[in-house]
Amino acid sequence: MALIAVKDLYLPKRLEHVSLQLDDGELLGLIGPNGSGKSSLLNVLGNVINAEGELTMQGEPIHALTDLERARQIGLLPQEAAVFWSLLVEDVVALGRLPWRDNDSAMINEAIDKAGIRQLLGRSVDRLSGGERARVWLARLLAGAPRVLLVDEPVASLDIHHQLSVMDVLKQHAIPGQGVIVALHDLALAARFCDRLCLLHEGKVVAIGETAEVLTEDILFRTYGIKVEVDLERSPPLVMPA
């Protein structure tokens, strides 16, 4: 049974009758041009915005969950998170435990190590670089240990080393009983780490399935309007403008 299933999701001017599912133990990649609906879809799943359609988690309507239950089951990491206070890094990570109403130091420390931010402890989050803050937000998400992670462009502000590190963390989360949906612009990273891909364009699903079924030169040309060289036999896979 799917961890999360979406059927005929409609949001005016953003999503046009989108249907997909996140399978148990899966890392599902959302790809597509700017404005294709990736962030909107994640925000609907994360209960940030409402949309028409059916949303279920393990066969049960997601709206039947209380806010607290949903927060414990589903964690959303938006593309951008504003910084309003001079909080210490460790205090920001600890906020991830709010749905559980505890301050589980073991979970917090595990999240800090997974996100690779231990060297940032003791620093104020508003004095960090964009890439450093992005990893702190990821640690906060991981500290809550949600079954499903919804992650929007988590590597956009990171260097190559930390891009791979973050994708490794997401891949490790996608184990039986858990799953991840991640929005990515980097098609090569998507091909390298994701189990399946969903290609969106203008709010519609263009293609969904195994990497080789979605990342074809023909489909990418019709979606992005440019020729793309694709070599999925390489290690790591190659997907780049021709």
- Which residues 6+ apart lie within 8 Å of 13 measured at CB? 203
Model pTM score: 0.97
Which CATH number does the domain housing residue 53 bear?
3.40.50.300
188-234 confidence digits (pLDDT tens): 999 999 999 999 999 999 999 999 999 999 999 999 999 999 999 99
Does the pLDDT of residue 68 top 80, yes or no?
Answer: yes
Instruction: Give which of 13, 65, 64, 74 is closest to 42, Cα–Cα.
Output: 74
3-45 confidence digits (pLDDT tens): 999 999 999 999 999 999 999 999 999 999 999 999 999 999 9
In this structure, is residue 234 part of a structural domain? Answer: no
In this structure, is residue 240 part of a structural domain? Answer: no
DSSP label at residue 101 = T
- Across 62-69, average pLDDT: 92
In this structure, is residue 187 part of a structural domain? Answer: yes
CA–CA distance, 232 with 148 (Å, rounded to integer): 27
Its domain, for residue 50, covers 4-211
In this structure, is residue 231 part of a structural domain? Answer: no
Q: What is the pLDDT of residue 85?
A: 80
In this structure, is residue 179 part of a structural domain? Answer: yes
Q: Are 196 and 209 in contact (CB under 8 A)?
A: yes
In this structure, is residue 229 part of a structural domain? Answer: no
Per cent of the chain over pLDDT 90 is: 94
Q: What is the pLDDT of residue 80?
A: 76
In this structure, is residue 198 part of a structural domain? Answer: yes
Q: Are 36 and 92 in contact (CB under 8 A)?
A: no
pLDDT band at residue 148 using 50, 70 and 90 as cut-offs:
very high
Task: Report how many domains make up the chain.
Answer: 1
Average confidence score pLDDT of the chain: 96
In this structure, is residue 137 part of a structural domain? Answer: yes
